[in-house]
Amino acid sequence: MKKAFAAVMLMVVCLLIWCGDQKAVEGTLVQVEGGTLLLMTEKGRRVGFTLEDGTLVWTMIDEPEAREILQLDTTITLRVQYTPYSEQWIHLNRETVYGYQADSVQVLSYCTGRKAVLSDGTKLSVWKNSEGEQYFLPDGQQLLLVEYPVLPDGVAGLFFDLNPVVQQRILDYCDKQGLLYDLAEELEKAYSIYTGRQREQTYSFHPRTVSQRSEISAVASRVVYCDTSVQVPGDASYGDGFSRCAAFDRETGEPISLLELFSCPVEEAVGRLLDIIQEQDTAFADRRDAAERELSPENLPDCLAIYEDGITLAFPIGKDGEYGIKLYFDSCPSLTALLKDWAVPYSQNA
C-alpha cells in the first residue's frame, strides 16, 4: 500500500514540476534544525529549505517513515521540490544560508549503519533506497543491489481471487522461506569480479543485482501454485536464475507436496516426464542417462515449477551443466494426464 501511495505521489510531484514553476534539487542532508533542512547539493552548494507543518515529506523506501528517517543520525540523500520565488535567508544555529520554502521532500536513500564484512576483512556499508539494499566498498564503489523480496500482490490477479485465509497462509509461507540465495556468496562474487577488473584494468565494473519474486503461477480446482523466482548475476554481465514452486490447498491454504499431484507413482512420473522431454527435444536422447541419474523422486520438487500453460523442469545434467525446458499442456496431452484432475491448472483466460 505504501509503495502504491508513493508511486502516485511521484507522479503528482513530476506533474507539478512539468506544469508549474517548481524546481527540484538533489543532495545530501547536512543538518535538520526544527522546521529547516540544510542540503549539500551534487554541485557542492549548501542550500537551506524551510518546512511547514503541511509540507509533503515522503519516500518510496518501505520503512521507516520519511519523517523518521530525517531524524536518524546517518547520511541521507534527498530530493527537494521548491518554488524559486520563495527565496529567503535561512538562519540556522551556526550559519545563515540562502534557501527556499520546500513544497515537498522525498527521501531517496540513507545509510543504515550496518556493515557487511567480506572474507578478507573488507567492510561494506549498507544503504537503503526505493529498490532495496545497496552494498558499498570503502572507496564508494557499489558492489551489489539486493532488491526487496516481492510477495504475491493482493491488488489484482490470481492472488486477489483467493479467500483471505489462503492469502495469509501463502504470505506466511513466502515470509518463512526467506531468501533462497546466499547473500554472502553473492557479495564475494561481486567483490572478486571488481578486484579482478581493477588489477587487469579492463572494462568498468557495474554493480550486480540479485532479486527474489513470489507470485501465484496457476490455480486448479483444489490447488493454488506459488512460484518464487530468483535472479542472480552469472558470469560477466550475464544473469542466472532459478525457481521454486509450492502448492497449497485452495480452500484452507495448507501446503501440499508437489509429489502428491501426480496421477501415478513418483518414480513412474519421473520416467514419463523424461519421455515427454525426449519427444519435445530429440537431442535429449544423448543425455537421457545423465538425466536419469540426476532427476530423482527426492529432488523433483526442487526442479519442477507449474504454471497456467505448462510445466518447467530444470536440473543438473552431468558435465553439460544444467538442463532446462518448458513443456506446454496444449501441445502435450500426456503432460496433462500426468497430473491428477484436481491439480491441472485452469487457463486464466478460460
Q: Where are the domains of the chain?
A: 2-110, 118-256, 260-343
Just give the CATH number of 118-256: 3.30.565
For residue 251, report the phi and psi dihedrals to the nearest 5 degrees.
Answer: -95, -35
- Is residue 348 very low, low, confident or very high in pLDDT (cuts 50, 70, 90)? very low
Least confident of 154-163, 166-175, 177-186, 222-231: 154-163
198-212, 258-272, 331-345: the lowest-pLDDT one: 198-212
Q: Architecture of 260-343 per CATH? A: Alpha-Beta Complex (3.90)
pLDDT digits (tens, 9 = 90+) for 81-98: 999 888 899 888 888 999
Pull the grid cell for residue 199.
588489477
Specify the CATH architecture of the domain 2-110: Beta Barrel (2.40)
Mean pLDDT of all residues in 276-284? 92
Which amino acid would we find at residue 39?
L
Average of per-residue pLDDT across 336-348: 89
Do the strands 96-117 and 46-50 form a parallel or antiparallel pair, or are they unpaired? parallel
Burial classification of residue 44, based on how many CB atoms lie within 10 Å of its CB (0-12 exposed, 13-18 middle, 19 or more buried): exposed
Please report which confidence band the pLDDT of residue 240 belongs to, taking 50, 70 and 90 as the band edges. confident
- Burial of residue 54 (CB within 10 Å: 0-12, 13-18, 19+) is exposed
